[in-house]
Amino acid sequence: MADPILRVKNLRKRYDSAEAVQGVSFEVRQGEFFGLLGPNGAGKTTTIGMLTGWIEPSGGQVEIRGMDLASKPREVRKIIGLVPQSFAFYPSLTARENLSFFGRLYGLKGRALEDRVVWALEIVSLGDRANQPVGTYSNGMKRRLNIAIGLIHGPALLILDEPTVGIDAQSRRAILESLKRLNQDGMTFIYTTHYIEEAQGLCDRVAIFDRGKIIALDTPRALIESLAKGILRMEFLEEVDESLLERIQAYGAVTRVDGPGRRVHLKTDQMDSALREVLNLKENRRAFFKNLEVMEPDLETVFIHLTGRTLRD
C-alpha cells in the first residue's frame, strides 16, 4: 500500500458561533484519486481552503509529505496545485501568457518554463488556441486552462474544486480523460464534484461530508455493497407510527426516519416483497404516501441514504 502524501488530523474551522468543519481526519495515499462529496454547505470548500493554506484552521493539523503546512507553508505549496471553482487567470492575456506568468511565480524560467507551458497546454488540449485571448474562450476551454495553471509547476498533489461545473459534455469528457492520464502517470488528486457519476468512475476512495463531518469513507464499491440490494425511500403525509414501522421492518432494516417521522428509508434485499407490502398498505389506506421511490444501489443511493439529500442540494 502506498504511503500517505497527505495526513489531516482533527481539522476544525469555526466562524463566530458556527463550526463549518468539525474535527475532520483522513489520509490520501500517493497516486490515489480521492473524492470529497457533500451537499452545499457541508464543509468541502472550507476543508480545501485549509488544505492549501488559504484558510487558517481553528484547530488540527495538515501534513503533506511529512511537512506541517502551518510551519512550512512555502515548501508545502510548491508540491500542491489548486484548481479553484472560480476562474483564476487574466482574460486579456492568451493561454500561453497566463501559463508563463503563473509559472514564473513558481520560479520557473527559460527553457524549463517554455517546456512546462507546452506540456500543460498539451495536457488540456489547448495547444491550437494557445495564442488566443482567454476572454474569447468558451466556458469549457476556460475550465481546461484553469487546470493547466494548477499543473504548471508540476505538483505532486492536485486539488480540484468542481472542475467540470457549467461546461458542455465534450469539454467535460476531455477534462476527465486528461485527469485519468495524469493519475495513471502517478499524480495524486483530491477531487470535489456535484456529478456523482464522476466520483464513482474516477475515485479510488471517497469521503462523504455532511454538516462539517466525514460520515463515510471507503471505496465506491464498498460503500455501494454496504447497502445490500437497494433502498426503498418512502415519504408519508402523516407521522409514521410504531405499528406501521414494524410491518415495514419485516422486509429489511429501517435505517433512517426523519422529517419528522414522515420519511423512512428501508434497506432491503427483498425489494419485490417489500414493495408489494408497501403498495398493499397504500391500497388499503393504512398509509398515506406523498412519495415512494425504489433506489437501486449506486454511489448516489449511498449518498442520499447517508445524508437524506441529493449531492446538488
Work out the mean pLDDT of the chain and round it to a whole number.
89
Predicted confidence band at 287 (pLDDT cuts at 50, 70, 90)?
low
Q: Let me know whether 69 and 146 are in one domain.
A: yes
Domain assignment present for residue 312? The answer is no
What DSSP string describes 174-203? HHHHHHHHHHHTT-EEEEE-S-HHHHHHH-
Res 149: pLDDT = 97
Average pLDDT over residues 102-118: 96
Q: Let me know whether 138 and 279 are in one domain.
A: no
Q: Let me know whether 206 and 246 are in one domain.
A: no
What is the 3-class SS of 62-118, one letter each residue? EEECCEECCCCHHHHHCCEEEECCCCCCCCCCEHHHHHHHHHHHCCCCHHHHHHHHH
Q: Let me know whether 201 and 237 are in one domain.
A: no
- Domain stop point among 164, 191, 219: 219
| CB burial readout 164-174, b (16+ within 10 A) else e | beebeeebbeb
Unique residue bearing C-alpha cell 442520499: 304
Q: Let me know whether 126 and 197 are in one domain.
A: yes
Residue 313 has pLDDT above 60, yes or no: no
Domain count, the chain: 2
Q: Let me know whether 272 and 213 are in one domain.
A: no
C-beta separation of 49 from 55 below 8 A? yes
Predicted confidence band at 280 (pLDDT cuts at 50, 70, 90)?
confident
Domain assignment present for residue 309? The answer is no
* Residue 80 vs residues 151, 190, 215, 300: alpha-carbon distances, Å: 9, 10, 26, 29
- Closest Cα partner for 30 from 160, 204, 215? 204
Q: Please report, in angstroms and rounded to a whole number, the separation of the first and last CA atoms in the chain.
A: 35
Unique residue bearing C-alpha cell 457549467: 166
CATH code: domain of residue 254: 3.30.70
Read off the pLDDT of residues 162-206 as tens digits, 9 standing for 90 and up.
999 888 888 899 899 999 999 999 999 999 988 888 999 999 999
CA–CA dist 212, 60 (Å, integer): 14
Average pLDDT over residues 206-231: 87
In the structure, how many helices (H) and strands (E) does the chain have? 11, 14
Residue 143 has pLDDT above 90, yes or no: yes
Res 294: pLDDT = 84
Helix (H) / strand (E) containing 276 = helix 271-283
Domain assignment present for residue 281? The answer is yes
Q: Let me know whether 199 and 172 are in one domain.
A: yes
Read off the pLDDT of residues 17-76 as tens digits, 9 standing for 90 and up.
889 999 999 999 999 999 999 888 889 999 999 999 999 999 999 999 999 999 999 999
Q: Let me know whether 201 and 245 are in one domain.
A: no
Rank 117-121, 244-248, 285-289 by mean pLDDT and report only the highest. Answer: 117-121
Domain assignment present for residue 305? The answer is no
- Under DSSP, is residue 44 helix (H, G, I), strand (E, B) or coil? helix
Domain assignment present for residue 243? The answer is yes
- Domain extent, residue 155, equals 4-219
Q: Let me know whether 255 and 171 are in one domain.
A: no
Q: Let me know whether 165 and 67 are in one domain.
A: yes
Residue 2 has pLDDT above 90, yes or no: no
Q: Let me know whether 251 and 208 are in one domain.
A: no
Domain assignment present for residue 301? The answer is no
Domain assignment present for residue 36? The answer is yes
Alpha-helical regions (H) of 18-72 = 44-52
Alpha carbon dihedral 155, 41, 221, 215, in 10-degree steps, equals 110
CA–CA dist 303, 218 (Å, integer): 12
- Domain stop point among 219, 254, 281: 219
Q: Let me know whether 22 and 165 are in one domain.
A: yes
Domain assignment present for residue 306? The answer is no
- Closest Cα partner for 81 from 98, 59, 56, 64? 64
User: How would you list the strands of the sheet with 213-218, edge to edge?
Assistant: 80-83, 157-161, 188-192, 33-37, 205-210, 213-218
CATH code: domain of residue 178: 3.40.50.300
Residue 90 has pLDDT above 70, yes or no: yes
C-beta separation of 220 from 200 below 8 A? yes
Paired strand residues for 213: 210
